[in-house]
Every structure is written in C-alpha cells, then in structure tokens.
Amino acid sequence: MASIYHLATLYLLLPLLLSTSMAALVKQQPLALRYHNGALLKGNVTVNLIWYGRFTPSQRSIIVDFIQSLSSGAAPLPSAASWWRTTEKYKGGGSTLVVGKQILHEDYPLGKLLKNSQLIGLGSRLNLVNSINIVLTAQDVGVEGFCMRCGSHGSSRGKNRFTYIWVGNSETQCPGQCAWPFHQPMYGPQSPPLVAPNGDVGADGMIINLATLLAGTVTNPYQDGYFQGPADAPLEAVSACTGMFGAGAYPGYPGRLLADKVTGASYNAHGFNGRKFLLPAMWDPQSSACSTLV
C-alpha cells in the first residue's frame, strides 16, 4: 500500500450569529494563497471512483455527471465548466478531468465503521500516475472523524505519485454540518434549507464537498502548491471561501442564487446531461478574492 504523507481536510466552519444589517457592513478582504513552488495536477487527470456501501443508481449518476461537467463545454452559462476554469489561472494551465475506473464495494468488506487508515487503503488500490482516486462512503457508513470534517484529500510518496479524496454522504449523520445549505445548520440562525437541485440532500451535499476537494487537490496535491496557513491544515482554493455560493454571501447566508422555475431548487451552475449544481466560491489568483458564479 502506498504511504500517504499529505492530508488536507475539509472542515465545516459553523455559521456565525450575524444579522442581515451587520452583514451589510461586511466587505470581503483581500485574500492571498501563497504558491509554495510545488507541482500541481495539470493536463489530463484520470478520476477513479471507489464506491463504498450502497449508493442508488441515481446518486452515482449525480456524482459522475458532476465530474464530467467540469470538462464539458456543452452546458449553458453559468456552468460547472466555467467554475472549474478558474483553476487554469493557477500556475501550469488547465486540468481536464476524465472519469476512469469505478469500483463498487456494496457488501461493506471492511465493515460500516472505517478508520482513516482504511480510507487510505481504499484510495491506494489504483496506483496510477496523474490520477485522483475518490473514495465515496454511503450514508450508513461511519468514518473516523466524520462530521468534524466533511471530507479530505491526500497523496502518496515516491516517484509515481497519485492523489486521493474521501467524501462521505452525511444525510443521516450530520447534514446540518456537511450538507448545508440543503439542511438547516446545526448552529446559528435557523433559516429554511434550500431545495437541492438534484433532489437528493446527501448527494447534492457531497457535490459541494467534492468540488471543494477536487479544486484543492489539483492546486495543492502534494502539500507544496497553493495554500494559506499550516501545510497540515491549509486553507486551499475553495476551503478559503467556505460558505460562499452567490453574490452577497455572509456567514449563515449562501448568497443570491438561481432558482429552478419548476422545482424551486437553488443552484448556480449548469452541467452535463441537463444537471444543475450548487458550487462554492473559488479563490481567483488574478483578483486575489473569492469568486462566485452568480
């Protein structure tokens, strides 16, 4: 098994008790993610999916369509692809994601409570250069530290380096922490949750966390790319912009978004196969600010 030396974790920043009148006084301050002169994941990047536990065909389709949306130019603007193109502004050019192998572990071979070492083991089974192995755990799978964190990414040592991501379905465990704003937050103002664009709070929440970690992986794959703060707990391309989805966002309020005329679902990005997604803000190195699609 490959040795993992880098682990960046996606934590949820709990909504703050901030009134609308106070929010009007809040202005986004310049934000600097320093480049630490390391290699980034650029060019064609293979994305392999390891499904652990039972996912419905619909849930798997939502995740796969999202990944394909990032490199698809067919969707109208604002699109998931236009969101992803912000990563081209980081050194080295663009990253084209291509869905590779998919492995299903529907019989829970390691049980329903996974340790971090087991996640790393699952993510190490496809040792391919310039690849991202994504471990996705179902809603009935517990993971060490889950709910204190909503996902993580890491990388291997050695010459043939690869990266991995873990994201869990939080719908029945901690949706207020890892599926906000599609569920009421555990703390802070209890505003009504938004309607999930694909009709699945767990899967749509996973998209937000997966988007965050994919951006972090390609721009800081080996602990020496773009980040702010300590290398073992960095703020990265999207995690530096936590909780921002549209213009006017402030802690506890995701910002002004688009609404589906039929379902009332909130979204800010069109995608592959007619999908709609809600994607978080990403740090733009040209403006040194968090940028939203709408």
C-alpha angle with apex 232: 162 to 177, nearest 5 degrees? 95
Q: Is the pLDDT of residue 10 over 80?
A: no
Rounded CA Rg of the chain: 18
- Summarised one tens digit per residue, pLDDT across range 90-142 is 999 999 999 999 999 999 999 999 999 999 999 998 878 889 999 999 999 99
- At 28 the pLDDT is 56
- At 157 the pLDDT is 77
Q: Higher confidence at residue 25 or residue 61?
A: 61
Round to whole Å and give the CA distance between 143 and 157: 24
- At 29 the pLDDT is 61
Q: Which two tokens stand for residue 155?
A: 């990388």
**Cβ pair 77, 270 in contact under 8 A:** yes
> Please, which residues have CB within 8 angstroms of residue 287's CB and are 6 or more apart in sequence?
none
Mean of the per-residue pLDDT values of the chain = 90
- At 159 the pLDDT is 73
- Summarised one tens digit per residue, pLDDT across range 253-269 is 999 999 999 999 999 99
- At 8 the pLDDT is 66
- At 197 the pLDDT is 98
- Summarised one tens digit per residue, pLDDT across range 197-213 is 999 999 999 999 999 99
Q: Which two tokens stand for residue 268?
A: 């800010």
> Please, which residues have CB within 8 angstroms of residue 67's CB and are 6 or more apart in sequence?
47, 97, 99, 214
Q: Name the nearest CA neighbour of 35 among 213, 211, 232, 236.
A: 236
Query: Which contiguous run of DSSP H or E holds residue 217?
Result: helix 201-219
Round to whole Å and give the CA distance between 39 and 138: 32
Q: Is the pLDDT of residue 33 over 90?
A: yes
- At 126 the pLDDT is 84
Q: Is the pLDDT of residue 17 over 60?
A: no
Percent of the chain scoring above 90 in pLDDT: 80
- At 11 the pLDDT is 60
